[in-house]
Amino acid sequence: MSFSAVTGCTSGTPNNTTQDKTASHSGVNEKSGDETKSIDSDGKKTNADVIVVYFSCTGNTRTIAKTIQNELNADIYEIKAKNPYTEDDIKYYTDCRADREQKDPSARPEIAGDLPDISGYNIVFLGYPIWHGQAPKIVYTFLESVDMSGKLIIPFCTSGSSPIGSSATNLHPLTSDAKWKDGKRFAAEASKEEIQSWISGLDLQNIK
């Protein structure tokens, strides 16, 4: 796949304004303590063990992340850049911000707000777009800033055609005491049924 096949940010306008309801940048979840094991306002049993963490520039990865959240009734946290990405920042092959960051092994874009407290979760779904074949460097920032010890990390990405490839395995060294499952690549237009099928195949009940 060519260097320009970047998703989650291939179309649309960068969006850094959405605030997710269940895991805020303050690190305080709306569901806490015994509440996480009871019934939520929709009448569903809440899933206290799972959080969905994602970075999305134009909204493609956000759509997949929220579908996963809804299917599992999990908490969710959006990684947002302190210096939000603009359309010019992702104009690839123009020496744009994304080009420079992805070429720089030391690049660690700063995250806006406080990081979430994930100590109470066993399973972390980690979502991101593919930028030049890899996860955006802000995902590296997150993993280096949060203690993933003992967590099971399940990566997923959005891409026009590139597979998840080494984008996930290159993140493994950042979480030495975590376990990783093989990841999944989704197209921006992935159906709810495709996502449901993937989740079902993970057999989460037997790996918690």
CATH number at residue 106: 3.40.50.360
| E-only strand ranges, 9-80 | 50-55, 75-79
Instruction: Judge whether 4 lies within some domain.
Output: no
**Parent domain of 193:** 45-206
Instruction: Judge whether 10 lies within some domain.
Output: no
Q: Measured between alpha carbons, how far is 127 from 197 in angstroms, rounded to an integer?
A: 17
Angstrom distances, CA of residue 35 to CA of 30, 45, 70:
9, 10, 17
Instruction: Judge whether 171 lies within some domain.
Output: yes
Instruction: Judge whether 158 lies within some domain.
Output: yes
What's the total number of domains in the chain? 1
Q: Exposed (0-12), middle (13-18) or buried (19+): which is 155, by Cβ within 10 Å?
A: buried
Instruction: Judge whether 56 lies within some domain.
Output: yes
Instruction: Judge whether 153 lies within some domain.
Output: yes
pLDDT tens digits in sequence order for the chain, 208 residues long: 333 334 444 434 454 433 444 553 333 343 333 333 333 444 445 577 999 999 999 899 999 999 999 999 999 999 999 999 999 999 888 999 999 999 999 999 999 999 999 999 999 999 999 999 999 999 999 999 999 999 999 999 998 877 899 999 999 999 989 999 999 999 999 999 999 999 999 988 877 5
Looking up tokens 């969006």, which residue turns up?
15
Instruction: Judge whether 115 lies within some domain.
Output: yes
Instruction: Judge whether 127 lies within some domain.
Output: yes
- Structure pTM? 0.81
Classify the phi-psi angles of 187: left when phi > 0, otherwise alpha if psi is within -120 to 50, otherwise beta.
beta
